[in-house]
Amino acid sequence: MYTANNACITLDEYLGVAERNDISKSIIPETKNRGVLLRLPNGEQIVIFVYPLVHKQDNTKNYFDTRDSGPHERAATWNYALQHNLKYFCLGVNDQVEKYEDYVFSLECNERDIEILSGTEGGDRSATSSGNQIIIPNNFIPSRQFERITNNLGTFIAVIHKESLYDYLEKYDNRPYLMDHKLIEQAMSGEGMGQNINLPDEKERLTTGTNILLYGVPGSGKSWTIEHEYCKPGTHVERLVFHPDYTYSDFIGQILPAVDSEGQVSYKFTAGPFTNILKDAFWHPKKEYILIIEEINRGNAPAIFGEVFQLLDRKYEVEEGDDGFPIGTSEYGITNPNIAQIVYDDSMMKVRIPSNLSIIGTMNTSDQNVFTLDTAFQRRWEMRLIENNFENVDQKFANAEILDTGITWEVFCNEINDIIVSNNVRMSSSEDKRLGAYFVRLRDLQKDSRMGNLASGEYDGLRRKESAGVISEEDKERLAEIRDAMKKNRRFPEKVIKYLWDDAFKFNREIIFETNEYRSLESVIRVFMYAEGIQRFKMFKQNIIDALQNPEGENEE
């Protein structure tokens, strides 16, 4: 007779409990050694109740004896799993039956339903006079690494080859549907229960997946680098921006009401951009996908990622006997039935980032008043500093003159940045305050000559006529032309000079500005607009103007 003790010994052999150092096993109280708390190689703890599969000698019947064998102990094991929110497995083995000797059978149904089917409500056989064992179809002979069958009571039974047992225990999670009766009914009907028999071949999947965080000063070229170095032709790219109000629901998805054609309201999970690109990448293993997250630290990134944070740990090497996923796949899977249903059409599958999906984030180092990224989050990314220089900048842009000043953008940027860095003793995080090479655009540097010379008084005179209501149509047209040109010519001072006044030199403006004469941002912007040539920079100290006109001591003997 094959006993429960025999079954426990057999399962221990299949699991390699005595030989492996990466697992541990302990017995759950009041289960007569049949309830087991097992720590898997990935560190996860699960709960198992062990059954000896009953095999009739005449080969007419094979079953889990859920009616007469250990109902109280099974209930105690189930309740332990519920109380500790652990995955629960009801496993049956019998290595003395030839067709079953290399297989483990797993009951994939709710313990409460087992009690009803077997007449063991509350874990007590005496509570009812009727009940059934859970029978395995007698004509079933397992032939694959994994199969899922149903018996005459509609109960799901997974059949796992012993060599694939750890893979099953790590990937399968019965908690969501075991606690929701609607999901139990769905499971009994075969929906969302491993029906994807034609999953992509992981051996064909690209191994380009990685997590990269590009950081640097504003305008240093982070987005440019992504477009030119990472987004190859044919790459599928999704781009989004984090901000203070961006949430987990925006990123992953959320349950929202939906109205059908008959006006009936139901609630369903609506996927966010992360879940959608995860699905696309999973089902197209030979294509490269990139999710770009701009300004990743302007939102609460750890909260936005939630449990998906765990998926950022990527597999970096292949070891003998590992899980079979390629390098670049999430090292650990997580349980999220909503994501799994969208991505795999199977709510029971463990969610992983596939190896053909990369996540690239950008972060401005000068953003002091936004969320910080803790070490645990940052260590899951490849960090790359984008150097702030003009080596790869289009020379037409680098050598563009700032309006009519005679000073090029490259010269201005380099000279001001040298001053910022050289004053690092007086300025906290001064390096992060530098101007990025792409802080402005080419159009911000170009002068619109239609503005004329504001110091001539033409503009102010036309405004006085307009205010007095005595302006002619011709003058109206000229005033509109000047104003349009002013909007364009204001771009540089409003972006760059304002940044230097309000941010980079906020606490020590006297380093570069003539603060005795120009005491407000308004006066600084006005002098730039009303002057011409190099005099547009007369809000700066003379040594700054000299440095701009003679960068790095050019032409000096």
Least confident segment among 234-243, 316-325, 403-412: 316-325
Residue 289: predicted pLDDT: 96
In order, the DSSP letters of 199-264 are ---GGGS-----EEEEEESTTSSHHHHIIIII--TT-EEEEEE--TT--HHHHTEEEEEEE-TTS-
Percentage of residues in the chain having pLDDT higher than 70: 89
Residue 491: predicted pLDDT: 94
The two three-digit tokens of residue 402, written as one number: 């700032």
Domain(s) of CATH 3.40.50.300: residues in the chain: 202-385
Per DSSP, the three-state class of 364 is strand
Judged against a pLDDT cut of 50, whether residue 195 lies above it is answered with no
What average pLDDT does this structure show over 69-95? 90
Q: Which amino acid is at 310?
A: Q
Quick one: pLDDT band at residue 186, thresholds 50, 70, 90?
very low
Quick one: pLDDT band at residue 194, thresholds 50, 70, 90?
very low
Quick one: pLDDT band at residue 261, thresholds 50, 70, 90?
low
Strand 146-150 relative to strand 211-216, pairing: unpaired
Quick one: pLDDT band at residue 192, thresholds 50, 70, 90?
very low
Judged against a pLDDT cut of 70, whether residue 189 lies above it is answered with no
Cα–Cα distance, 175 to 178 (Å, whole number):
5
Angle at CA of residue 314, ends 87 and 386, nearest 5°: 145
Quick one: pLDDT band at residue 187, thresholds 50, 70, 90?
very low
pTM of the model: 0.57
Strand 289-294 relative to strand 236-241, pairing: parallel
What average pLDDT does this structure show over 353-378? 79
For residue 295, list its beta bridge partners.
none
The two three-digit tokens of residue 437, written as one number: 């090479």
Judged against a pLDDT cut of 50, whether residue 183 lies above it is answered with no
Residue 262: predicted pLDDT: 67
DSSP E strands in 387-483: the ranges are: none
| Residue pLDDT, tens place only, 2-23 | 999 999 999 999 999 989 888 9
Residue 355: predicted pLDDT: 95
Cα–Cα distance, 415 to 141 (Å, whole number):
79
Judged against a pLDDT cut of 90, whether residue 125 lies above it is answered with no
The two three-digit tokens of residue 49, written as one number: 């109740």
Residue 424: predicted pLDDT: 56
Residue 374: predicted pLDDT: 75
Judged against a pLDDT cut of 70, whether residue 425 lies above it is answered with no
What average pLDDT does this structure show over 395-414? 93
Residue 364: predicted pLDDT: 81
Q: What is the 3-state secondary structure (H, E, C) of 285-346?
A: CCCCEEEEEECHHHCCHHHHHHHHHHHHCECCCCCCCCCCCCCCCECCCECCHHHHHHHHCC
What's the chain's length in residues? 557
Pick the CATH number of 202-385 from 3.30.1330.20, 3.40.50.300, 3.40.50.720, 1.10.760.10: 3.40.50.300
Percentage of residues in the chain having pLDDT higher than 90: 51
Query: Whole-angstrom distance between the N-terminal and C-terminal Cα of the chain?
Result: 104
Judged against a pLDDT cut of 90, whether residue 166 lies above it is answered with yes
Tokens 């002098």, residue? 527
CB neighbour list of residue 66: distance below 8 Å, 6 or more residues apart: 51, 74, 107, 114, 117, 118, 120, 133, 134
